Amino acid sequence: MEADVLVIGCGPAGLQAAIHASRKKASVLVAGKAASSGAYGARIENYLGVPSRPGEEILADGRAQAESFGARFLDMNVMSASALDGRFVFGMEDGSEVSAKAVVLATGIARRLLGIPGEKALTGKGVSYCAVCDCNFYKGRRVAVVGNDSEAAASARLMTSYASETHWVRWEDAADEGLASKALEAGAVPHAGRPKAIEGDGKVERLVLEDGAEIQVDGVFIELGARSSADLAMDLGIMPEIDDTVKAGQDCSTEVPGVFACGDVTGRPWQVAKAVGQGCVAGMSAADFARRLE
Ligand SMILES: Cc1cc2nc3c(=O)[nH]c(=O)nc-3n(C[C@H](O)[C@H](O)[C@H](O)COP(=O)(O)OP(=O)(O)OC[C@H]3O[C@@H](n4cnc5c(N)ncnc54)[C@H](O)[C@@H]3O)c2cc1C
């Protein structure tokens, strides 16, 4: 199969890229699975004009919108990528190949899990991976932020403005000293130790540490940083950043001509609004790049 632009990822960034590239009359293929988007299963309440709406509804409408402009969807993952004779060639999950003049990486991130009992079962029921996204749900409630580094410190500080109690659980001092001091000065209660389990009957009720200590909370924010699907970027000749994100310029171009990146894969903030904004830019840039090759 051939296209001017292959968009890898059908989350908010990829869908917006597909809409804008199609509107510029590029032929567009979109690969990926909606259910793997960070927005799927989330309730989005801070995106302009959308006071509160399930992410899967936003994604379904976005896909229909992209299809109405001519984008075609392949509900499968891209397994490999290479550059060949001025085109990019991709190996797909079903064994087929896609060739495109330009590519948009909109592959999002995979959040790092703690991997402890209760974490999976209580995700969305008090376990969250994004303080910026979910802080508002915890106004006046008790929360624990788990993580050693600066992201965790910043999240702990943020949560002190919302929660009645903020506990910061860490087992290493890896955060920037200034950020850590600000979190503690703002009232975050420090705990030294590794989490052992998250417990509760249908919702988070407590975080248990390895030393047996129990912290009674309504929410647990796991802030361990994230990994993106940087392997594909490397296949294309891009060296990912140390945190596995891909550096993108103002026009969303990467270090490899014809490869553009947008959304969570380019780094924080992990927000729909930023993903959509960059998706618009990446889609237009990719369509322009493909047209210049004609
Ligand atoms: C629980 C939760 C709550 C959230 N709440 C909010 C909120 O309230 N407000 C807000 O603004 N943001 C929120 N977010 C963050 C928001 O969902 C993300 O910032 C947004 O989805 C990023 O969009 P994206 O398109 O960059 O990545 P994603 O939406 O994660 O999409 C990535 C896409 O890439 C695809 N993909 C990955 N690898 C491949 C591959 N090899 N081949 C093909 N496809 C691939 C995936 O299938 C997926 O379709 C929340 C996130 C979570 C997890």
Residue 90: CB within 6 Å of ligand 1?
no
Task: Give ∠ CA 41-188-114 in degrees, rounded to 5.
Answer: 45
- Given the candidates 3.30.70.240, 3.10.20.30, 3.50.50.60, 3.40.50.1820, the CATH classification of the domain at 2-110+226-292 is 3.50.50.60
Q: Residue type at 38?
A: G
Provide the Cα torsion 287, 288, 290, 291; round to 10°: 120
Cα 211 to ligand 1 centre (Å): 35
In tens digits, what is the pLDDT along the chain, a chain of 294 residues?
999 999 999 999 999 999 999 999 999 999 999 988 989 888 899 999 999 999 999 999 999 999 999 999 999 989 889 988 889 999 998 889 999 999 999 999 887 889 999 999 999 899 998 888 789 999 999 999 999 988 899 899 999 999 999 999 999 998 889 999 999 999 999 999 999 999 999 999 999 999 999 999 999 999 987 767 778 898 999 998 878 899 999 999 999 999 999 999 999 899 999 999 999 999 999 999 999 998
Q: What is the CATH number of domain 113-222?
A: 3.50.50.60
Cα 275 to ligand 1 centre (Å): 9
Count the alpha carbons within 13 Å of 69 in the hemisphere toward its beta carbon: 22
Kindly tell me the sign of the dihedral angle through the C-alpha atoms of 228, 231, 235, 240: positive
Sheet holding 142-146, edge to edge: 127-128, 219-222, 142-146, 165-170, 189-192
- Span(s) in the chain for CATH 3.50.50.60: 2-110+226-292, 113-222
Residue 73: CB within 6 Å of ligand 1?
no
Residue 100: CB within 6 Å of ligand 1?
no
